[in-house]
Structure 1
């Protein structure tokens, strides 16, 4: 195993949090290619399970997680935390693939700490190809996105995912995390399209089950890659 792109640190107001301070903690997982490797930093595969919302066990790890206040229109980010076999910082996004970010408002009469993410989500960011052979995420320490300026104020789960895209069916790896945020600002926007997790993706989506040339190193044709999920809402 080499690297694990787990996003445990949240970036807002020009500062980087401690691990799992604003990001919901995840539980242990087993490596798909080696059942003896059991670590918190394993990727996720089952896109039809509820854990695809925020990562393994994160639906119940809200209590005790801090909530960051973020001004709509500002940039936020996620930074890779400790990797299972990389004891020294800085950690980088090692695997090949795109990154995406989603928001889901906490329902009325539900505290954000206890919101499981079973409501509706809308996509606010996508990081795809830098050019035809290189991903924007490759060799970066994290991913940055902007909260759309007209996002309705309120409490949200902010979901980030990085895909290690692969050409064999059901082997694309998902690295997923959710931060808890309070969005402030004028609002006025109507986010959409709205999706649910699970349900937004299928294993046969061309952005998940990719052709060989998207996976092989050096990759080619990345500008033709189509990400899974809805279009980005920009406010």
Structure 2
């Protein structure tokens, strides 16, 4: 089955930065089919862009997927932004670089800043589809200022019950076809502003961080009823923990619906609403409080 989808736009605090602006576009939509491929970080045959997108620490950042460049493939495109069967998590990584417009992608040190997995019977991809192709996350407020490459990863698990069946979209500026165990990716060029001073205590490499047999990659997500709910079990996305501004984290965060902590009042959409040692409001004024890891829960639509 082939289902093209690509990340074509970035928004910052609601401001759309424009079609393909500040992104490195692959020369074709041919996928990388091996998690150990040397180009897995940002893809190959990339076009250049002189634009670096300014992103304030703490900003609400959006990534837009569409079936083909510019929007749906026709007025009745049932697979826009992606086929609804492609359930799975969406995750976001950063790598600090000296110049986001020119630094190469080989050997970079990556850390994870967001992960939207399975909660309330819905996957991160399901929420993106319901939101007309937009996936939103918060740039952590502690991220140190400077240039970064940002990769937003969509992992489709509908065929992941056998090795090589998971389909990775590291969404890009050109349409990526979903084949067995595909990686279709590129990177956005950003400049984080603010006064943060976060320095990750551990980072990962692409390739290297993923294995074809990782339990979050080699998995059957269908329960006895046939629903793509992982049989009611928790799901741990592959890769490292999502970083936390307090410096904590667990080894593999689970995205579920819930929150911990105390405090009165309500938390705004995309604000923190729970986590270990958190004492602020745990009720969301809008959306649902969803766990990113044991240290951080966030109000999400």
Range class of TM-score, shorter chain: 0.7 to 0.9
Question: Quick check: 1:4–1:43 contact (8 Å CA) kept in 2?
Answer: no
Match of 1:36? Answer: none
Match of 2:51? Answer: 66
Match of 2:146? Answer: 154
Give the Cα separation in 1 of the matches to 2:211 and 2:59.
32
Match of 1:54? Answer: 42
Measured against aligned partners, the alpha-carbon deviations of 1:58-116 in whole angstroms (never above 9, x if no partner) come to 4xx3x324210010011111101343883348932432110000000104xxx322222
Q: Which blocks of at least 5 consecutive residues in structure 1 are unaligned?
A: 29-39
Question: Quick check: 2:53–2:189 contact (8 Å CA) kept in 1?
Answer: yes
Match of 2:162? Answer: 168
Give the Cα separation in 2 of the matches to 1:87 and 1:191.
44
Q: Which blocks of at least 5 consecutive residues in structure 2 are unaligned?
A: 171-185, 246-301
Return the offset for 1:26: 1.7
1:213 paired to 2:205 = no
Give the Cα separation in 1 of the matches to 2:80 and 2:22.
19
Match of 1:22? Answer: 22
Higher Cα Rg, which structure: 2
The structure-2 alpha-carbon separation of the partners of 1:181 and 1:230, relative to structure 1 and needing over 3 Å to count, comes to same
Match of 1:83? Answer: 68
Give the Cα separation in 1 of the matches to 2:237 and 2:68.
26
Greater RCO (CA < 8 Å, at least 6 residues apart):
1
Question: Quick check: 2:91–2:152 contact (8 Å CA) kept in 1?
Answer: yes
The structure-2 alpha-carbon separation of the partners of 1:192 and 1:125, relative to structure 1 and needing over 3 Å to count, comes to farther
Question: Quick check: 2:100–2:191 contact (8 Å CA) kept in 1?
Answer: no
User: What TM-score do you get using the length of structure 2 for normalisation?
Assistant: 0.65
Give the Cα separation in 1 of the matches to 2:221 and 2:118.
16
Match of 2:135? Answer: 143
Aligned positions, number: 215
1:121 paired to 2:113 = no
Give the Cα separation in 2 of the matches to 1:114 and 1:209.
35
**Partner SS for 2:222:** helix
Alignment of 1:29-40 (within 5 A): 40=29
Question: Quick check: 1:10–1:17 contact (8 Å CA) kept in 2?
Answer: yes
Worse-matched range after superposition: 42-51 or 146-155:
42-51
Give the Cα separation in 1 of the matches to 2:205 and 2:39.
12
The structure-2 alpha-carbon separation of the partners of 1:101 and 1:162, relative to structure 1 and needing over 3 Å to count, comes to same
Question: Quick check: 2:92–2:113 contact (8 Å CA) kept in 1?
Answer: yes
Return the offset for 1:208: 0.9
Return the offset for 1:223: 4.6
